[in-house]
Structure 1
């Protein structure tokens, strides 16, 4: 598919203006090819077929953005920590780009204001924001190139939102954090899988943390482990266990 630069007419539609403004706020620049960013916001739950029978959603851009984001973060960490091991760099990168932190980051920078999805599915926005952020990274890469994308990742995502020193010294296993807290407090804790939804290409798990038979955080993911980590993360937020 050849991407064509979309020259916006003077009389832009309201949705065009809203999207341009949102990208300016999120990325710090005006998009050249607005159609890329529009596609980056379309979740598969509302995707419509084009003339070739292909459903146009942000999944391909998400795939690309996932790789570019990982490369940009790896590039940044490689230069930031010149004497640390490959294992250390891999662990820190995973803490920055894991599903829970990407969902939280996407919500913080305003991705939730522009993502388009089936709103009948009440919890869907909670699990697709990180994916949409990756799709936006993919759009930036196609629109502006790698160097501009890396600048966006460092200046707009990592710099303002991560304390690297704290990140290096923190425990990102939220499930372990909950279990350790429960042991200290003498509480009973368990993780339950509430639902498994089967899609065409993947499963979506819904997990919940139960503390002393009281439901706490609910999490979602494409594996049992990820759903439980998401539920544990949200429970940590509810119980104020993430504060230093």
Structure 2
């Protein structure tokens, strides 16, 4: 109650523009904001950031780093609880569909966060799509620092997962990671191959191991009970590494 009263008192001294920003953030998060400065930082792209006296740009990149970790952990824990009899591969696939860059970019625009982002318009004729998802992760980081883990978890589950994702639909939507990676490689004039490394035999199963190679540079390794599944897993892992390049 004390923090709520202090926050309300501080908000009385905000400018009209700051109050509009505050209301927008509280509408998106569904939570009372205590530290407005954190949320201003969360939407401040590095292209628009000033350098402080420590020589560090005051951008959203540190909050993005934090939010990425918190978002991934909360989503992983939520799926772990929701699907107690599913294996690691299933959980990883569904988590990827929620937190991949393309999904976060779309969600950021859907909730209106993109309207709050500050970036240097002279540096970018059109705002890069990756900025949207980065800012959403930074917002998660801001909520975590401002309200603590439990409130941040509530925001992620209620305002992100339950409000914008149909888990049944995600389960039954097949993503062809290999085709997406090949399409990107062709667009960028890159040579791509999927190399089967070995076949691990055991009494109960045979597991294939496949590695993605792009322009003679090795990338991620995938595993599966068939060559097709191993290639899809390797492509999915590689897409996660290359996601910002692919989305730009």
Q: TM-score, normalised on structure 2?
A: 0.69
Partner of residue 97 from structure 1, selected from 96, 99, 110: 99
Shift in Å at residue 123 of structure 1?
3.0
Partner of 1:43: 45
The answer on 1:192 being equivalent to 2:187 is yes
The answer on 1:116 being equivalent to 2:118 is yes
- Compare CA radii of gyration and give the structure with the larger one: 2
Confirm or deny: 8 A CA contact 1:112 1:125 kept in the other structure: no
Alpha-carbon distance in structure 2 between the residues aligned to 1:192 and 1:144: 43
Alpha-carbon distance in structure 2 between the residues aligned to 1:225 and 1:132: 15
SS of residue in 1 equivalent to 2:10: coil
Change (3 A) 1:16 1:45: same
Shift in Å at residue 26 of structure 1?
0.5
Alpha-carbon distance in structure 2 between the residues aligned to 1:67 and 1:20: 25
Alpha-carbon distance in structure 2 between the residues aligned to 1:125 and 1:226: 10
Structure 1 portions without partners, runs of 5+:
181-188, 195-220, 232-244
CA RMSD of aligned residues (A): 2.7
Shift in Å at residue 227 of structure 1?
4.3
Confirm or deny: 8 A CA contact 2:130 2:244 kept in the other structure: no
Partner of residue 136 from structure 1, selected from 135, 139, 157: 139
Confirm or deny: 8 A CA contact 1:20 1:30 kept in the other structure: no
Shift in Å at residue 175 of structure 1?
6.8
Q: Deviations over 1:48-88 (max 9, x none)?
A: 11122221100000000000000110111011001111121
State the aligned residue count.
192
Q: Deviations over 1:125-162 (max 9, x none)?
A: 42201000000000000111111111111111111211
Instruction: Name the stretch that deviates more: 10-19 or 44-53.
Output: 10-19
Q: TM-score, normalised on structure 1?
A: 0.71
Change (3 A) 1:150 1:122: same
